[in-house]
Amino acid sequence: MQADSLTFIFLNAFIINNFVLAMFLGLCPFLGVSAKLKTAWNMGLAVIFVMLVSSTCAYAINTLLVRYNLEFLRLICYIAVIASSVQLVEMAIKKLSPALFRMLGIFLPLITTNCAILGLALFQTNREYNFTQCLAFSVGAGAGFTLALMLMAGLREKLELADVPDVTKGAALSLTLAGLLSLAFMGFAGLGGQ
């Protein structure tokens, strides 16, 4: 598989270099919102959507900044654009589909501080992806985030019933679980023939 083919970029962001389990991006929602399967699914959908929008915006802005030699403003522009695009998406969803808006609830505004979104914008700039590659990358990253979140939520729902020592309850146990998941995802490392 070609390193810059769309399938490879998608698979790379989806499972090989999973945003959460291999690159450690978006850990806060990963540990915070993964207690229930249903909310994990909703959060994942919201993140995929915001990733697509902000990736498109970041691509456009980067083209503009490069043309006027203003690359040092990149970070400030990206963060401002992500914050406002989350706000815009929130307003649009509220107007178009109140049902979906109620389903996503508080998770939508919280996405602004998710480092996976800013990370996506920075990585696509560093790797100099073109527009279609950016789209494949953002869908792959979003799907990877959703997959990791749902796997974690499923495991934690089962774990509720398990009897563990008191001191390991809470964050330590969740992190061990995440480590095991990450270990499992390392098995995908050779995929794509590198």
Partner 1 sequence: MVNDPRLPEPLSWDTFQQGLWKENPVFVMLLGLCPVLAVTNNAMNALAMGLATTFVLICSGVLVSLLRKVIPKQVRIASYIIIIATFVTIVDYAIQAISLDLYKALGAFIQLIVVNCIILGRAEAYASKNTIVNASVNALGMGVGFTFALLCLGGVREVFGSGSLFGFSLFAPSFQPWSIFVLPPGGFFVLAFWLFLFSVIKERRKAAAQLKQEAGNAS
- For partner 1, the binding residues (CB under 8 A) are 21-28, 31, 72, 75-76, 79-80, 83, 113-115, 118-119, 122-123, 126, 166-168, 170-173, 175-176, 178-180, 182-183, 186
Residue whose CB is less far from partner 1, 103 or 181: 181
Which two structure tokens, joined as six digits, stand for 29? Answer: 């929602």
What DSSP assignment string belongs to 96-110? H-HHHHHHHTTHHHH
Q: How far is the CB of 98 from partner 1 (least distance, A)?
A: 25
Q: Shortest distance, CB of residue 84 to partner 1, whole angstroms?
A: 9
3 state DSSP class of 69: coil
Residue placing its CB nearer to partner 1 in the complex, 124 or 146: 124
Which of residues 102 and 175 has its CB atom nearest to partner 1 in the complex? 175
Asked if residue 163 lies in contact with residue 142, where contact means CB atoms within 8 angstroms, the answer is: no
Measured from the CB atom, the residue of 86 and 102 that comes closer to partner 1 is 86
At its nearest, how many Å lie between partner 1 and the CB of residue 113? 6
Of 177, 144, 153, the closest CA to residue 47 belongs to 144
* Number of CB atoms found within 10 A of residue 74's CB: 17
Shortest Cβ 7–partner 1 spacing (Å): 23
The set of residues, in sequence order, having a beta carbon less than 8 Å from that of 37 and lying 6+ positions away, is 150, 153, 154, 157
